[in-house]
Amino acid sequence: MRTAHGLIAITAVVGLAVTGCGGGPTTQASQPSGEGGDVTVQITADGCQPQPGTVNGGVVNFKVSNKDAAAVSEAELLSGGRILGEQENLTPGLDGSFTLQLSQGDYQVYCPGAKQDHWDFKVTGDAKNNWKNNPDLVRATTDYGTWVNEQVGQLVSGTKDFTDAVKAGDADRAKVLYGKARVFYERVEPVAEIWGDLDKNIDGRADDFPDAKDFKGFHKLEQALFEARSLDGTVPVADELYTNVGKLRDLVAKATFQPAELANGATELIDEIQKTKVTGEEERYSHIDMVDFKANLEGSVKAFSLLQPALSKIDADLAKTVQDRAAEVDKALRPYVQSPGYLETGYVDYSAVGKDQQKALSQSVNALGEAMSKVAAKVA
């Protein structure tokens, strides 16, 4: 669990209590980096012509090499005579690079000592690559918003059933309803994590609360049901949990999303699996980690599948790699599917999954995470 600073763009920040951890919602996500790209500058006795000579605004990486120019040993990027970046001491045979964030404008590459020592370099506008001009991506963001709201709606009703059972003192029923409610939280966790303490109050672990008496939320009730085996004193905890998921629903209803945020959220869900599900950390009392595992995966794959039409046009290989690796994870999960399964979860009790089996699960998840982490830059 972490505060997802700058993950989700909120268009209407109304009445939000931004407290704790310093990581409330932000009104702007990190700007897409634009195009930029690599520019090759080969120093020769004749000059240092940049290739290409024009790029779109964004992060530009200048790769400078000196093939055989004995009298020239540096290249600089100038704007109005000022040095913005440079690579010095490049004697013949050496290369190096420097990277700059550049905006629209006219620049020069300067290589003192060469026959022609100034070369024009142009940066064009940044807007061309705006995702808002890509209907596939616009649709992805709106569809994701619809889906998240639907999930949070089900979280609220599932939590109602669960907390009602807790309050009624029906432990057996509560144990079954616990997992059924949590699915909806685990699918949209990165979204839920942006509101500071709200995630901690809903999904925090005992270790997240310096004072044990402050421990609350799903996992407090999990502990009561599965470890303490006593529901004494849990009514206020149940009520507060239900209130908090309601707050979450209201906040989510006001959120809008950007494509890179969907992608980063998809990666974060994979990270969640690797850090807290495969290890058995999150559901340490109930051992329903398989439920969370599958729900994280579903949330991740959902976000990805919405981006897929756009991504397939931008980078078909990456789209296929992610899809293949997600299928591998799904395959790795299959041996643990059971019907109706442990506590009607559809899966086995995670405490029965051995260390070597956990390792194999983790490795397939890691492979998916590495691929997924490359998606955001493609759709930003």
Partner 1 sequence: MSSVSRRSLLTGIGALGVGAVGVGGLVAADAAGSAAPTAPAPQIVPFRGQRQAGIVTQQQDRLTFAAFDVVTRNRSELVELLRTWTAAAESMTRGQQVPGGASQLQAPPADTGEAAGLKPGNLTVTIGFGPSLFDDRFGLAAKRPALLRPLPKLPPEDLDPHYTGGDLCVQACADDPQVTFHVIRNLARLGAGTVVLRWMQLGFGRTASTSSAQATQRNLMGFKDGTRNLRAEQAELIDQHVWVGAETDQPWLRGGSYLVARRIRMFIETWDRDYLGDQQNVFGRYKGSGAPLTGVSEFDTPDFAARDAEGGLVIPEDAHVRLAAPEHNNGTRLLRRGYSFTDGIDPTGNLLGGLFFIAFMRSPEQFISVQRKLGESDALNEYIQHIGGGLFACPPGVGAGQHWGQSLFA
Answer for which of 88, 214, 250, 281 binds partner 1 (CB under 8 A) is 88
For partner 1, the binding residues in 308-327 under the rule CB under 8 A are 321, 325
Cα separation, 325 vs 319, whole angstroms: 10
Contacting residue, 52, 53, 92, 169, with partner 1 by CB under 8 A? 92
Is the Cβ of residue 187 or residue 325 nearer to partner 1 in the bound state? 325
Relative orientation angle of helices 135-167 and 235-252, to the nearest 10 degrees: 160
Distance between CA atoms of residues 231 and 255, nearest Å: 36
By the rule CB under 8 A, 380 interacts with partner 1: yes
Residue 10 DSSP class: B
The Cα 225–Cα 215 span in angstroms is: 14
Q: What is 96-131 written as a DSSP string?
A: EEEEEEE-SEEEEEE-TTSSS-EEEEEEE-SGGG-G
Query: Among residues 104, 130, 133, 230, which is the contact residue for partner 1, using CB under 8 A?
Result: 104
Cβ neighbors of 30 (< 8 A, separation 6 or more) are 6, 260
Would you mind telling me the total number of residues written for the chain in this entry? 380
Q: With CB under 8 A as the contact rule, which of the stretches 56-64, 171-179, 194-202, 268-276 interacts with partner 1?
A: 56-64
Pairing of strands 82-87, 118-124: unpaired
Q: Which of 7, 10, 48, 102 binds partner 1 (CB under 8 A)?
A: 102
Beta-bridge partners for 78: 83, 108
CA distance 160 to 187: 18
Does 137 sit near partner 1 (CB under 8 A)? no
In angstroms, the CA 133 to CA 111 distance is 39
**Which position among 43, 48, 69, 90 is part of the footprint of partner 1 (CB under 8 A)?**
90
Q: Taking CB under 8 A as the rule, does residue 26 contact partner 1?
A: no
Nearer to partner 1, 225 or 376 (CB): 376
61 lines the binding site for partner 1 (CB under 8 A): yes
Q: Does 27 bind partner 1 (CB under 8 A)?
A: no
Considering only 328, 330, 344, 349, the residue that binds partner 1 (CB under 8 A) is 328
The answer to the question of residue 373 lying near partner 1 (CB under 8 A) is yes
Out of 123, 148, 177, 295, point to the residue binding partner 1 (CB under 8 A).
Answer: 123
Please say which residue, 38 or 197, places its beta carbon nearer to partner 1: 38
Taking CB under 8 A as the criterion, the residue among 126, 272, 283, 292 binding partner 1 is 126
- In this chain, which of 19, 31, 130, 146 binds partner 1, going by CB under 8 A? 31
Minimum CB separation from partner 1 for residue 57, in Å? 6
Q: Are 140 and 319 in contact (CB under 8 A)?
A: no
Q: What's phi and psi for 108, nearest 5 deg?
A: -130, 145
Give the Å distances, CA to CA, from 167 to 17, 236, 239: 28, 9, 9
Segment lying near partner 1 (by CB under 8 A), choices 91-99, 201-209, 246-254, 296-304: 91-99
- Spatial CB neighbours of 309, under 8 Å, sequence gap ≥ 6: 136, 139, 140
Nearer to partner 1, 17 or 70 (CB): 70
Q: By CB under 8 A, is residue 84 in contact with partner 1?
A: yes
Q: Which residues bind partner 1 (CB under 8 A)?
A: 30-33, 36-38, 57, 59-61, 76, 79-80, 82-90, 92-105, 123, 126, 260, 263-264, 321, 325, 328, 363, 366-371, 373-374, 376-377, 380
